[in-house]
Structure 1
Amino acid sequence: MSTKTDKIDRLAELTAVTDTSAGAGLWVEAWRRLKASKMAVIGACIIGVFVVVAIVGPWVAPYSPTAQLWRGEVLANQNVFVGPRAENWLGLDHLARDEFSRLLVGARQTLLVGIVATLLGFTVGALIGGASGAALVLGGKAGRRIDTAVMRVIDMMLALPSLLLAVSVAAVLGQSLTTVMIAVGVVQIPIFARLLRGAMLAQGGSDYVLAAQALGVRKRRIALGHVLPNSLSPVIVQATLSLATAIIEAAALSYLGLGNPDAAEPEWGVMLAQAQDYFDSAPMLAVYPALGIIITALGFTLLGEAMREALDPKLRS
């Protein structure tokens, strides 16, 4: 847990760093470095391809992802499968459905789950972290008590392995696609909460805060009108990294049977779970969705890490 919190706290500290070299602000300099980063370019390209596939996949898929058009050619119980061929670029699955079409259509659901879960974690986590940070910045015994109580709960959530927490939430709520989104979103809440709270604390000692206090500006206005907006930059970076985690954890929940109860609807985690029974006879049925998950998560991770390095003066080359 200490490693996880250390990374979050370090990212929060970046919001208090300013860089005025060559007359450029922090974000201008970070954007210049980001464009020159090969890691960022590769990550952005992967994400771009994934988003395009998720958007246009259902329209460009050559067949319906649920249509069993070649039932006479596939005998899963006898380990008879159809591999890649002209009319089926990636072959057929265990129910004689076109694997390429299912992979294309499944990208949309995978992206939807990742985005909704991240937005849920971001929204609730920002509300909690913003309230805790504002209470501490406003000062007073009441503010410190509120911050202490909230942060102890957040630390307990961070101490739990993320997948274990997601599985626990999903088991309580029951099997559904909405459950996966909520479970993965709950895992993201303490990360965003601690990150925003730490960023607000880092901003609390900035010159503009001291100047506002000297001018007699109310603490509430300083905390919510100035400190909070200026503390969002590391949270945006974390959202990119969290998308990668959300996609992996959503696939894991689907693999464990906690995802969409309609197994006919394509989703990469569900496809991976269905393929495990036929791994000896048709291993590629598991390889295709697994590669999709890995490459997509890699894209978001590369871009997020590049953004973090662009903001971190200690990591500048």
Structure 2
Amino acid sequence: MSLDTKAAKIDRLAELTAKQETSTGASLWVEAYRRLRTSKMALIGAVVIGLFVVLAVVGPWVAPHDPTQMWRGEVFRNRGIFVGPRDGNWFGLDQLGRDEFSRMLVGARQTLMVGVVATLLGLTVGAILGGLSGAALTLGGNTGRKVDTVIMRVIDMMLAMPSLLLAVSIAAVLGQSLTTVMIAVGVVQIPIFARLLRGAMLAQGGADYVLAAKALGVRKRRIVFSQILPNSLSPVIVQATLCLATAIIEAAALSYLGLGNPNPATPEWGVMLAESQAFFDDAPMLAVYPAVGIIITALGFTLLGEAMREALDPKLRS
């Protein structure tokens, strides 16, 4: 048998192995989807997230009033008199006479954008670092171990600092803006995704299909990027849904500390919560509305993320 024929057979066997693993991966996701459809926790989380996304998309068009419009002829400051819920203003008016219900609807888009962009930033950079580290360690060699050591020491330094303190430090350095909040929250999440993907790749490195591919003579680089990496992404995707909830809460915390959007006219739930603290004694509902919105939204992402984790966990599948 010639060398070219032998190499062609090895490539063909490797291709069949990859196809079989892809089919198995698809079956895993199909099974997870079936489990999610019967999970009350997943359904509740999906409904909450769906409503939140719908409000974020259509909020500016269905808001009954301009969120920056100030109602004249009303007394708000200095006398502790606030207009509560009434006909035309379902949630009442805030300290500047703006319709609270309209600001809640429009602010949902800003809150969603902050959470999604921050999570995507952390997921992208973390996956790149974790993938490089896991691939370098899986491929072996002195160079691979050095690359893994350098990346992991940087990740360890980021983990050594409390997440909120790190986010506040980054926001303070970059300046007060909504973009700063997204960057700060995204950077905090980088170590989570990096370590998770690296650990998943190392765990997949000892799987049977990897040993079979090595026995067939498939190159390590091809095994890592065509088989190990794709099969290591499921826990990272699940973690992304959980981090969305954390991102929304941390963004609200930064806004509460005065590091969010410097323009108070632009409604965002975290900024609205921060502004309402000065008037909590006279109008506590101004703080309750955005706080409840943040809590319910974070709960929805958490429920869906936990349900996905259980659906994809092989120890929990019957």
Q: Normalising to structure 1: TM-score of the pair?
A: 0.90
For 2:248, the equivalent position in structure 1 comes to: 247
Provide the rounded CA distance (Å) in 1 between the counterparts of 2:87 and 2:95.
19
Amino acid at match of 1:227: I
Unpaired segments of 5 or more residues in structure 1? 1-17
For 2:54, the equivalent position in structure 1 comes to: 52
User: What SS does the aligned partner of 1:264 have?
Assistant: coil
Displacement after TM superposition at 1:316 (Å): 5.1
Q: Indicate if the aligned counterparts of 1:240 and 1:304 stay in contact, CA closer than 8 A.
A: yes
For 1:126, the equivalent position in structure 2 comes to: 127
Amino acid at match of 2:33: W
Cα deviation, 1:178-205, whole Å, max 9, x if unaligned, reads 1001000001100010111111111111
In terms of mean alpha carbon deviation, does 25-34 or 112-121 score higher?
25-34
Amino acid at match of 1:95: L
1:281-300 counterparts in 2 under 5 A? 281-300=282-301
For 2:210, the equivalent position in structure 1 comes to: 209
What is the number of residues matched between the two proteins?
A: 296
Cα deviation, 1:238-295, whole Å, max 9, x if unaligned, reads 1100100000001111111101110110000000011000000000000000000000
Provide the rounded CA distance (Å) in 2 between the counterparts of 1:71 and 1:131.
59
Cα deviation, 1:61-100, whole Å, max 9, x if unaligned, reads 00000010x2321322111100000110000000000000
Q: Indicate if the aligned counterparts of 1:74 and 1:94 stay in contact, CA closer than 8 A.
A: no
In terms of mean alpha carbon deviation, does 170-179 or 202-211 score higher?
202-211
For 2:266, the equivalent position in structure 1 comes to: 265
Q: Provide the aligned C-alpha RMSD in A.
A: 1.7
Correspondence 1:39 to 2:48: no
Provide the rounded CA distance (Å) in 2 between the counterparts of 1:267 and 1:104.
9
Unpaired segments of 5 or more residues in structure 2? 1-20
Amino acid at match of 2:55: V
Amino acid at match of 2:303: L
Match of 1:66 among 43, 59, 68: 68
For 2:98, the equivalent position in structure 1 comes to: 97
For 1:9, the equivalent position in structure 2 comes to: none
Alpha carbons of structure 1 residues 316 and 210: separation in structure 2 relative to 1, 3 Å: closer
Correspondence 1:84 to 2:117: no
| Percent of matched pairs sharing the same residue | 80
Provide the rounded CA distance (Å) in 2 between the counterparts of 1:314 and 1:211.
24
Alpha carbons of structure 1 residues 284 and 239: separation in structure 2 relative to 1, 3 Å: same
For 1:155, the equivalent position in structure 2 comes to: 156
Cα deviation, 1:30-71, whole Å, max 9, x if unaligned, reads 222111111110000000000000000000000000010x23
Amino acid at match of 2:72: R
User: What SS does the aligned partner of 2:315 have?
Assistant: helix
Amino acid at match of 2:176: Q
1:171-182 counterparts in 2 under 5 A? 171-182=172-183
Q: Indicate if the aligned counterparts of 1:74 and 1:95 stay in contact, CA closer than 8 A.
A: no
1:217-232 counterparts in 2 under 5 A? 217-232=218-233
Provide the rounded CA distance (Å) in 2 between the counterparts of 1:181 and 1:52.
21
Alpha carbons of structure 1 residues 207 and 315: separation in structure 2 relative to 1, 3 Å: closer
For 1:276, the equivalent position in structure 2 comes to: 277
Provide the rounded CA distance (Å) in 2 between the counterparts of 1:307 and 1:62.
37
For 1:198, the equivalent position in structure 2 comes to: 199
Displacement after TM superposition at 1:206 (Å): 1.4
